[in-house]
Structure 1
C-alpha cells in the first residue's frame, strides 16, 4: 500500500503493528536486514525484530501507543516521533506482574528508504522512571528515621500515645502537682496576683467590690529594689489614734 509521506509510513507502522498487537505485520514495513537500536543494544534482522516486539507485548497487557507528534526532514529519509505507551504491567523491566496501569514516554528516529521501507530505528524510552514507579512502595510513605524535628501527633491522639519527648516521656502540659500542688490562678501567667498585686496605681482589681457591685482601686505594694532595703509604707494608724496617712510614693536610691 502506497503512502503519501515517510510520516504516514511510520504512523501506519505504529497502528498496524503495535496498536494491533501483530508483530507479523512488520513484514510489510521493514526490510530484511532491519536494525533497531534501543538502550545501547542492536537487534539485527527482521525476524529478531519481530521476536523483540512480541516479547515486549507480552510484558505490557492492553498496550496502546499514543503518537504525540511525528515529523520528517525535507527528503523524507529521516522521521522523528514522540510517543507515549499506555497499558498494564505484566512484568515489564523484570518487575512483578501486578497488573497496575503504566504509562511512559519515548522517542524514535527512523531511517526510511526511497521506496518507503524502514531501514533503521533508534529508540529511547523513559525506562528508569517507569522502573522506579513500579518498584516504589504504595501510597504510604516510609517512616522518617532521621533525628529531625519531632512531628506533632494527629488530632485525637492522647498524651499516652503521643510521640515521646526527651527521656522517652510523652509531651503534655504540666499538672498542678508539677507546679507545687497549687492550681494556676487567674493573672498568674502575666506576673499579677489574684487580687491586683503588681497593677499600676488606680487600676481596678477584677475581683474587688464584686459583692457590692463597686470597683474599688487598691494601692500597689511597694516594690523591692535590688541591692537595697524594701520601702516600708507608713503604719495604718499612729499611737495617737489619728486616721492613717495616704500612701507615699516609694523613695528610690540615688545613683
Structure 2
C-alpha cells in the first residue's frame, strides 16, 4: 500500500512470517494442481459442441485419441516450467475429459506458493498460444463429473523419520479442530466440489484415513506400513491460494504467530486474482 504495508491480497507476507517462526520444523510441501481446458465458447476443450462425451472411466491417465484432449498444451507447459526452474515433478490426464493435473514439489516452506503461482502464470501463457482458456473452477461442469482440487502433501522433519506416523496422527487431530477455518481459505465454490462423491469428503465434516480417497486427509498406505512419511490434505479447491493453504497448515500444526493473519480473506467481489471462469451451459 502507499504507506508501505502489505495490501489485502498479499497472503504471502503473512505465510512467510509463520513459516520463518516455525522453520525448525522443516516443512516440505507438494501441490497437485488440477485445471480444466475450455474452448473459445467456454465449453470443455475437445467435447462435442452440442452434447457430452462418453461417461467418465477411460480418461484418467488416458492415452489415445478420444481419451485425452490438449496433450500438446500440457507438454509445452511442462517444458516451460522446467526451463523456468520450477520444481514440477509430474503430470497426468484427470478423470473428467479436458481436465488435467500437474504436480509441483516437494519444495520447502514459502517456496511452494512462489513456484505454484508462477506455474499457473505459465499455464495461462502457454494455453494462450493455442487459443485455449484455463479455468481453476472447482466444479466446472455440474452433475456426474469430477471436480478439480489442489491436493496438498505435507511433511515435517518429525514425520519423515522412523516413528513419524505418531506426528502425522497428531497433525490430524490439530487439523480437525480448525476444519471450518481451513475451508474458508481453501478456495471459492468448493462446496459444489466437496459433496462426498467423486473422490471427495464432505465439506462440513473432517475425516481422515489410510488409503481413503474420500477422506478430508489421506495417509498413504506405504506411509502406514513404514511408520513415517507425509499426509495429503485433499480439501483445497483448485482455485485456492497456495500461500493461504500452506500458511494455515503450518499455523494449525505449530501455532499462531504475532503479526501474521493467514486466515484473512477478501470479499467475493474483490477476489479478482482467483476469479473463476464458469463454462456456458450447453445441451
TM-score, normalised to structure 1, is: 0.22
More strand by share: 1
Larger proportion of helix: 2
TM (normalized to structure 2)? 0.20
Higher relative contact order (CA 8 A, sep 6+): 2
